[in-house]
Amino acid sequence: MDVIRVTGGARLEGEVLVPGAKNSALKLMAAALLAPGETTLLDVPDILDVAIMAELLRRLGCRVDHAPAGRHVTIDVPEQVGHRADYELVRAMRASISVLGPLLARVGEADVALPGGDAIGSRGLDLHAEGLRHLGAEVEVEHGYLLARAPRGLTGAPVALAFPSVGATENLLMAAVLARGTTVLENVAREPEIVDLTRMLTAMGARIEGEGSSSLVVHGVPRLHPVEHRVVPDRIVAGTWAYAAAVTGGDVHVRGGRPEHLVMVVDKLLAAGVDVVPTSDGMRVLGPARPRAVDVATLPYPGFPTDLQPFALVLGAVADGSAVITENLFESRFRFVPEIARLGADVRVEGHHVLVRGRAALSGAPVQASDIRAGAALVVAGLVAEGVTEVGGVQHVDRGYDAFVPQLQALGAAVERVDVAAPGLPVQG
């Protein structure tokens, strides 16, 4: 099994290039289903989740050309597409549920396995189902599948989300663009990835008002056309590199990182004594000798992203002072806490809060990733731990980070990916 082995003590210095956003690229790939013909996406990250989505689209009848070296994906969508997304692929990635809206809009039916993915807590599909019912769909769960039917097509209607769910916003938006009449979506998510999806759909011929706001008005059209679209840069990857520079006292130019997409994150880094300087093509992050402790609470965008919460906890673990990290979105994000404690962090969980008291240094140890961001955050923690840290479960990191280890090496980190034997078992050649 592979692990990422980190020898602590490195100060990161240099520059990294942020690829297109994972959380946008996957949804844009699903959106391609809305238009027969060839859609091309540029700046697509070379990550496992993109390969999984590509295979899912192939099984729906699409021809998908995934060129990792060139960071682009071309999707040739037939006039007739399938409607069943099987558990075999959907269980590996929650973003697979994003084919639900496009399939329902295009072919009037969708059978999508209930998704798997990261172990960060329950993410029910009630908001997806309820919203689609407002648009005239029949939705039920049977034998582990969410079954949606709209034999007479979808009809525009007012839909108010009880919570600004990113996934529900995306599915309802993609369903509404081909519905008859006008749909008004209220209390929708406002993430940059939602804006990116809105812009691609508009380029495809959709009529959408309210881009970037909490209310979207969608005037249905009978047909969309394929496009070429460049994926918005990944703000979570940019934030990862910013925190890695901050905790190591480094100096990293994050090319492609957009500070305007990370306003709350930048505010917290500045409060910790980190310099964040906007540049013409990104931002330069300079970490102090030791950061100050800063409280963080996750909230929907434009609040502090839940995906960057583990990195805020790592900073708190080596900061001067104590901080409270509050998780308001996913109850199981704190599965990461026992692992950072194995590295010597002084952490205590109380409900959806973690009290972390900073220490001058952590101590290397074997740890295990439970999700994408936990895996990357444990590697960052290993950079400031004395001795060697081995992070297992690196398949999670592969799902969200393009060339993570090589980029760390280019910044001066003593890190490598190695194949080690499981306890009591020989390494298989």
pLDDT of 330 reads 78
Cα 237 from Cα 257, distance rounded (Å) = 8
Cα 4 from Cα 382, distance rounded (Å) = 10
Nearest Cα neighbor of 72 from 20, 18, 16 is 20
Residues linked to residue 369 through DSSP beta bridges, in sequence order: none
**Is residue 403 a contact partner of residue 68, using CB atoms and an 8 Å limit?**
no
Nearest Cα neighbor of 1 from 428, 398, 380, 339 is 428
What angle is formed at CA 73 by the lines to CA 67 and CA 77, rounded to 5 degrees? 130
Residues in the chain: 429
| 118 catalytically annotated | yes
End-to-end alpha carbon distance in the chain: 11
DSSP annotation of 248 = T
**Is residue 400 a contact partner of residue 369, using CB atoms and an 8 Å limit?**
no
Cα 31 from Cα 125, distance rounded (Å) = 19
pLDDT of 124 reads 65
Domains for the chain: give ranges and CATH numbers.
2-18+233-419 (3.65.10.10), 22-230 (3.65.10.10)
DSSP annotation of 35 = S
Cα 37 from Cα 19, distance rounded (Å) = 25
pTM, entire model: 0.94
User: Which H or E run contains 366?
Assistant: strand 366-368
Cα 19 from Cα 39, distance rounded (Å) = 19
pLDDT per position in the chain (429 positions), as tens? 899 999 999 999 999 999 999 999 999 999 999 999 999 999 999 999 999 999 999 999 999 998 877 789 999 999 999 999 888 878 777 788 999 999 999 999 999 988 754 333 344 688 999 999 999 999 998 888 889 999 999 999 999 999 999 999 999 999 999 999 999 999 999 999 999 999 999 999 999 999 999 999 999 999 999 999 999 999 999 999 999 999 999 999 999 999 999 999 999 999 999 999 999 999 999 999 999 999 999 999 999 999 999 999 999 999 999 999 999 987 777 889 999 999 999 999 999 999 999 999 999 999 999 999 999 999 999 999 999 999 999 999 999 999 999 999 999 999 999 998 655 444 333
pLDDT of 88 reads 80
The one catalytic residue among 118, 234, 307, 371: 118
**Tokens coding 304:** 């502090």
Cα 112 from Cα 84, distance rounded (Å) = 6
Distances (CA, A) of 163 to 101, 176, 188, 190, 229: 18, 19, 8, 12, 29
pLDDT of 422 reads 55
**Is residue 218 a contact partner of residue 207, using CB atoms and an 8 Å limit?**
yes
Cα 389 from Cα 364, distance rounded (Å) = 4
Question: What SS3 state is found at 177?
Answer: coil
What sign for the dihedral angle of Cα 239, 266, 370, 121? negative
Cβ-based neighbours of 124, under 8 Å, separated by 6 or more: none
Strands 37-42 and 228-230: parallel
DSSP string of 296-356, one letter each residue: EEB-STTSB-GGGHHHHHHHHHHSBSEEEEE--S-TTGGGGHHHHHHTT-EEEEETTEEEE
Strands 353-357 and 346-350: antiparallel
Nearest Cα neighbor of 390 from 361, 369, 413, 406 is 369
